[in-house]
Structure 1
Amino acid sequence: MTDAGADEARQLLLANADRTVTGPLEDPAVFAAVVGVERLVVATGSTDPEVLRAALQGRLPDHGHGSDVANLVAEGERHVAAGLVRRTNRQAVDAALVNPDAGAYEVTTDATLVRAAVRAAQRSLDAMPYYGLRYGERGSRFASTDSAWLISLAHLGEERATRQVAWLCRVLAGRGMPSWLMELHLDELVAEVRSVAGEEAVGALPAAAAAVATARRRHVDDDLLVLADGWADDSLGDELPVPRTGALLAAATADALSGVTHDDHVLVDWLTDPARVRPEVADTIHWVRRQVRDTAR
């Protein structure tokens, strides 16, 4: 990125710190700026334009998130710079603009919904530390673009939207993210979209969320998720590899029993990795897994 390109990108981020842009974001550079600013909203916990401008200019007092904010600013500048290139080349907006690893799939371009997607993604990440521990910043980028893609399904009929969500569940479950996590994320996404754009904007998403939950509950109901957490928490205490270990094991079991995945080894192998836990901890995790399997329907 040239100095001129970096300066133009920074100025566009600053211009969008007031978060007043609405409607379709057809300019790729503005789309990237809106996403970049909203990620700072989440990181700083503030919607105050002056706070956001201070973050963008490196003037924000460090309250324990300074390095995270600096990284987000640098990443935002890179994405806006890429958007400026797309603007020149008359290229459209897609997920790869703000998540180069994602590929060129469709995402919502409505400014209000883009912001809701970013906030819902971060809320889901905050609620489940497993994401950050396993997938790091890459997981955060995918959460935002997946969230923006999910919103783009809202206008489809319930059957089509549910099929698309089921497809994504299979993809993610194969990478160690049980479908239960999609349930939680869709709940956050529906709540965010409903709060800023009303019932019509959530469209088919509640039905898709209900379908994911129903498939899981056929084998692992909500009570078993809680019970599995209790088994893991009581047995492992401070040596839990990640919060909600038991529920994650139960959710992965549900996916295997319902055919979303062939088995649960991707998650279990990570939880029991000798580089992460002692052999005794791994043995206990396998015991919890057996308890879940014996109890599941």
Structure 2
Amino acid sequence: MSDEDHPRREPAVAEAQEVLLSVVDRRLTGDLTDPAVLAAVVAVERLTVALRTTDTATLTRALSEGAGAVPDASRPGHDLAELLQEGYGQVLEGLNRRADGRDSDAALVNPDGGAFEIVTDASLLRAAVRAAQGSIDAMPYYRERYGARGSRFASTDSAWLVSLAPLPADVAVQQVGWLSRVLAGRGMPSWLMEVHLRALVDEVAAAAGPQAVGSLPEAERSLTQVRRTHVDDELLLAAEEWADETAGYAVPVPRAGLLLAAAVADVRSGLVRDDHALAGWVTDPAHSSVGAATALAEVRERVLAQAR
């Protein structure tokens, strides 16, 4: 029987809250076979990043009483009320799946991303979510351009990447390369994947030991090696300095110069055909003043002149 044949059930919000509170102490380990519990683990971990705390009492207060119970506690850029609403909605969907005997997949916590495999080990899933949300917080471009939708995609992409760790290195490298190409075509240069993979390796090692990182370091090294062949670290940093010197605070997002250089690297390596998805956005009048757009276009030309 297909999913469409199932009448949709709407479990009580109280039941969803019970599931969320059952994992709020973040002690649950092992394989998450219950979709509702998996959704709750993701929701709680995203909440810990937004609130900058793993304190059980604070998390419980937010889940039980709402965003108003923890005023001014969340990081800038995090809409706590929206995050709580998403979390409850995902757990409700998990309860529907539990009742219908359906398994977990990425669509459970990110319906827009499609149904693909993600890691279901509780410790590794938390590590994936922390790395994803940490990467977003470290790079304001993500949130400025992709918003809450980008945050959901980051978590499921990260949970998929962790599932590659046990694979042979050549397979993991190929799979990471495929995702990097897709994301670069949407305005996320592969340098961002390098940064994320380093954060992911650190989180996975901290959560499950160094042996758990598997082939992920090799995948990161492969991306870095290819990028440095065309735009080395010195040119990345130089591009950022040029942007600061010529555009200053008028840049649409921090590290715009570095992102432009990283996008050029992807074109030179053949990962994508052109860098319009990134360069077009940072120089668009909707995001940049005329002066800043002109300055950034000049930065891009300087990078093109020095890239290999």
After TM superposition, the score normalised by the length of structure 2 is 0.94
Structure 1: runs of 5 or more not aligned: none
Query: How far did residue 226 of structure 1 move?
Result: 0.5
2:31 match:
24
What CA deviation, in whole Å up to 9, does each residue of 1:19-50 have, x standing for no partner?
A: 11110001000000000111111111111111
Query: How far did residue 5 of structure 1 move?
Result: 2.2
Aligned positions of 1:137-286 closer than 5 A: 137-286=148-297
Distance 2:304 2:207 in 1: 41
Aligned residue type for 1:62: P
Aligned positions of 1:49-198 closer than 5 A: 49-57=56-64, 58=66, 60-63=69-72, 65=74, 68-198=79-209
Query: How far did residue 3 of structure 1 move?
Result: 7.6
What CA deviation, in whole Å up to 9, does each residue of 1:246-288 have, x standing for no partner?
A: 1100000000000000010111111111122222221111100
What CA deviation, in whole Å up to 9, does each residue of 1:72-120 have, x standing for no partner?
A: 1111110000001111111111000000001001000000001001100
Equivalent residue pairs, number? 297
Distance 1:3 1:268 in 2: 44
SS in 2 for 1:101: helix
Query: How far did residue 2 of structure 1 move?
Result: 7.9
Aligned residue type for 2:74: H
**Which of 42, 51, 55 is the matching residue for 1:44?**
51
Q: Contact 2:247 / 2:291 at 8 angstroms: preserved in 1?
A: no
Distance 1:65 1:209 in 2: 31
Query: How far did residue 64 of structure 1 move?
Result: 5.2
Root mean square deviation, CA, Å: 1.4
SS in 2 for 1:218: helix
Query: How far did residue 11 of structure 1 move?
Result: 1.4
SS in 1 for 2:12: helix
Structure 2: runs of 5 or more not aligned: 1-7
After TM superposition, the score normalised by the length of structure 1 is 0.97
Q: Contact 2:189 / 2:262 at 8 angstroms: preserved in 1?
A: yes
Q: Contact 2:11 / 2:92 at 8 angstroms: preserved in 1?
A: no
Query: How far did residue 241 of structure 1 move?
Result: 0.9
